[in-house]
Structure 1
């Protein structure tokens, strides 16, 4: 008879044999799976992904077009990091492509880890020009960027006055800087008592574009005179400084401007308005309501494009245009409300030579009809107009049958009229100019939905005539885009209209259709 010890040992040996058997089976299964895995890996390796067959140069160009400004301090989702983590080939291309690392937006300049992020990021820019947005000179991030100042191409920064710190070290070391966006402010008024000239940007031989924003307290002294910049080399200026006196300071220093934008948050008039400042090379002017007083302070004989936001009666725009010697070719006015509609018409009348006009307005139906009627019936109202672009707040503002018909008549008249007009001779009043240009393009969109639909209009012969006429105008070559209205349907031979555009025009508008609404 076996002892208990012998029985226990036998059971354990049996259990051990079972475990060994299972391990052997699993080991065999593992080897089988490993073989299957090798086959799958080999099969995958045989695939050729088309994107990976592109030459590295083509892939690099695609990367350049896909990657925009890189927001540092926003996690690991930055495009350069994502691209470099896809595969070893893309990683090599991304790390060798300095341009995708060189457009930097400091999403949080004050973040404690921003200096360390910049320290690892900036070497990847190589020798490529660097664009930086969101730089705050109060934070330590500036210390990492200053050593790369010779690569700066554009800088957008906040300057805390009075300036202290390493930014002063860049003077004479920014040869590539072309664009500078400065917002400046400061603390208590007494902190400006010992302010010294700001010369860090004075030696920037290629600086052409400047944007200045004044955020000083209203009680602060004028600090604009402290900025030492290569003023005469500037060709583009965006001014958001407060007060006409400060704006005029900028304009007297920048005689070679080609583009000027004035949009202050507040604008008080100058104590004494000096003689108008002549800007002989200015071609584009953009002003908002509060920057409008500058119109009486400048002469722009070469002005080609004018953009006005939120116009008002006190704007000196008509007087400015009278001094432009009929040079203006493009006019855009946005934010038009009913109270300033008469002023808008006066501006349009003062610009007889414009070829492109854009209007964004919230106006009653009668004012829309008035505009269409003036363009249609008065040959001296915008006689050179080639392109008219309109933006309404909503389709309901414009779409009744009468307004729809007036618009159609206007486009038809300006497209079809064949007048032997000539430009005014020197010394003649430009208001004597006759229409010489076709209205080649008309565009109407809405800033609020719903889109226009002919279902919004009563089903009348006038409505049908308008839609058909607009369609044949498009077929004749006039570029008409009305949001929500399809003017290019495919017509069968049986559906082709029996009339011609010439017959419609010679029928003198609406072809005898009764337009009583």
Structure 2
């Protein structure tokens, strides 16, 4: 068949189709709409986010989350909830990313005390992380509700039960519940926490909980075996009381003064050899802590309350030294001494932060000997108040590399005037960058003289700029101190000011 005949045949076949299209309403618009829809679908399918593999999109979701810890109940505009509302595909993907659902924080207050409802929400939220992904749970009772739960621990038992139901894949928990509500944690069998790495218990305390006849309300439960002692990955343990509103401001002094039954080794078992951080702010005997620390070869941070051992005499101490090669942070508190007994045993060459708070002056000889045998370079120091001038000289000449000094536990009057004068000249602590003090009116003039001298020396480049913070300023002293601070106004143009709290 010739080309001309073929063309005629095609036209004849297409003609009926043309008549059919002409019968449709506005055929040109219909055809345009179809083209537009096809084009729109093609563009949407080629959009960059449509071509991303789910694994990459999941990483973007994680990066877009402001924090991996979600406070429950979440706000309606929380980024994670927003992700689940964009489209069905994004929702399905977000619901299958364990990282987004594995860490929660819940705070119970008088305004938010529906524990059963919040427990159900927490359980459902964590279930989206699966049955194996490591979980993190933080929950506390705050404000007046903390005192309420102390009187009725059963109020939060359901939440503790929920925590226990996830024990096999908990990586971290931090619970601020009454001790009576936390007791089920101590009754779990060995091996209950195979993945636990860090744990914190912060039982709220009332004054009557400190009664010596009621110590079970606040101390670490007496038990020979615990699930915590068998947790193979635990590296951090913190047991710290939670201050609630009905307690006095000097809560720790009250605790230490009234806690006449300190802990003993058989009642306090943990996997000591694997711990990196240990914080225990209720008192144990100094010799108990020494026994424990001898097993803590990997310890980096130690924060504890110490009770003096009976009959301890420093001059007669012949106990072996305890070498903690990795210890960088040491914070000790005692009401009636006891810190020096522990310090006299320690060797800590990596120590950079030291805090010694106790009810009486700490013997400078112990600290000096500690530094001499350890050869550490101390950068952060919170001392007790060493009143004798000789003690101050010994301490701060030996700790010449200190960058941060906080002596807010004592007033400035508990340090000799010569200390402030030498500090101003730079004879002591030439590398000091931050000073936190609790001034009194009697020392205001010498303090301002010291600050002016340091700032002048810093302007000349001889020593670092010194940031000064006045804390705990009493109303009686405030007027005199503010008047003295006017002498430092000329330094404000250079950005130097004393912060007063």
**What's the TM-score, normalizing by structure 2?**
0.60
Change (3 A) 1:146 1:162: closer
1:363-442 maps to which residues of 2 (within 5 A)? 363=411, 370-377=418-425, 379=427, 381-382=428-429, 385-392=430-437, 404=448, 406-413=450-457, 439-442=463-466
Deviation at 1:360, TM superposition (A): 4.4
Match of 1:150 among 148, 158, 168: 168
Asked whether the 8 Å contact 1:358–1:389 carries over to 2, the reply is yes
Q: Distance in 1 between matches of 2:436 and 2:57?
A: 45
CA RMSD in angstroms comes to 5.3
Asked whether the 8 Å contact 2:307–2:337 carries over to 1, the reply is no
Match of 1:231 among 248, 266, 272: 272
Change (3 A) 1:310 1:269: closer
After TM superposition, the structure 1 stretch with the greater mean CA deviation from structure 2, 290-299 or 179-188, is 179-188
Asked whether the 8 Å contact 1:289–1:312 carries over to 2, the reply is yes
Asked whether the 8 Å contact 1:152–1:177 carries over to 2, the reply is yes
Q: Distance in 2 between matches of 1:76 and 1:227?
A: 41
Q: Distance in 1 between matches of 2:307 and 2:104?
A: 36
Deviation at 1:329, TM superposition (A): 2.2
Change (3 A) 1:220 1:369: closer
In our comparison, the structure showing a higher alpha carbon Rg is 1
2:193 aligned partner:
174
Change (3 A) 1:446 1:405: closer
Deviation at 1:277, TM superposition (A): 4.7
Q: Structure 1: any 5+ residue segments left out of the alignment?
A: 1-41, 418-437, 472-479, 486-517
Deviation at 1:173, TM superposition (A): 4.6
Change (3 A) 1:365 1:200: closer
* Structure (1/2) with the larger helix percentage: 2
1:359 aligned partner:
406
1:40-59 maps to which residues of 2 (within 5 A)? 56=57
Q: Distance in 2 between matches of 1:307 and 1:222?
A: 24
1:509 aligned partner:
none
Match of 1:327 among 376, 398, 408: 376
Residue 133 (structure 1) aligned with residue 138 (structure 2): yes
Deviation at 1:302, TM superposition (A): 1.1
2:13 aligned partner:
none
Q: Distance in 2 between matches of 1:310 and 1:189?
A: 24
Deviations 1:73-107 (A, max 9, x none): x5866947754576448755653443343223343
Asked whether the 8 Å contact 1:303–1:327 carries over to 2, the reply is yes
Partner SS, residue 309 of structure 2:
coil
Residue 296 (structure 1) aligned with residue 341 (structure 2): yes
Q: Distance in 1 between matches of 2:160 and 2:414?
A: 57
Residue 60 (structure 1) aligned with residue 61 (structure 2): yes
Q: Distance in 1 between matches of 2:421 and 2:402?
A: 18
Q: Distance in 2 between matches of 1:76 and 1:256?
A: 41
Asked whether the 8 Å contact 1:313–1:340 carries over to 2, the reply is no
Match of 2:115 among 95, 111, 116: 111
Match of 2:323 among 270, 279, 287: 279
Q: Distance in 2 between matches of 1:443 and 1:255?
A: 36
Asked whether the 8 Å contact 1:80–1:94 carries over to 2, the reply is no
Residue 457 (structure 1) aligned with residue 475 (structure 2): no
Q: Distance in 2 between matches of 1:91 and 1:391?
A: 51
Match of 2:468 among 441, 444, 449: 444
1:502 aligned partner:
none
Q: Distance in 2 between matches of 1:367 and 1:167?
A: 46
Q: Distance in 1 between matches of 2:165 and 2:193?
A: 11
**What's the TM-score, normalizing by structure 1?**
0.58
Change (3 A) 1:297 1:396: closer
Match of 1:261 among 282, 303, 306: 303
Deviations 1:188-240 (A, max 9, x none): 68999x96523312332221112235899957785652344221111211122
Asked whether the 8 Å contact 1:322–1:350 carries over to 2, the reply is no
Deviation at 1:374, TM superposition (A): 0.8
Asked whether the 8 Å contact 1:391–1:447 carries over to 2, the reply is yes
Partner SS, residue 104 of structure 2:
strand
Deviations 1:250-301 (A, max 9, x none): 3244243221112x4xx54211437365133222211235385223323223
Change (3 A) 1:366 1:280: closer
Asked whether the 8 Å contact 1:146–1:167 carries over to 2, the reply is no
Partner SS, residue 66 of structure 2:
helix
After TM superposition, the structure 1 stretch with the greater mean CA deviation from structure 2, 59-68 or 174-183, is 59-68
1:16 aligned partner:
none
Deviation at 1:403, TM superposition (A): 5.3
Partner SS, residue 121 of structure 1:
helix
Partner SS, residue 144 of structure 1:
helix
1:242 aligned partner:
283
1:16-35 maps to which residues of 2 (within 5 A)? none
Q: Distance in 1 between matches of 2:451 and 2:216?
A: 61
Asked whether the 8 Å contact 2:193–2:227 carries over to 1, the reply is no
Residue 205 (structure 1) aligned with residue 232 (structure 2): yes
Q: Distance in 2 between matches of 1:203 and 1:113?
A: 33
Q: Distance in 2 between matches of 1:170 and 1:78?
A: 42
Q: Distance in 1 between matches of 2:297 and 2:189?
A: 26
Partner SS, residue 345 of structure 1:
helix
Q: Distance in 1 between matches of 2:269 and 2:411?
A: 46
Change (3 A) 1:321 1:296: farther
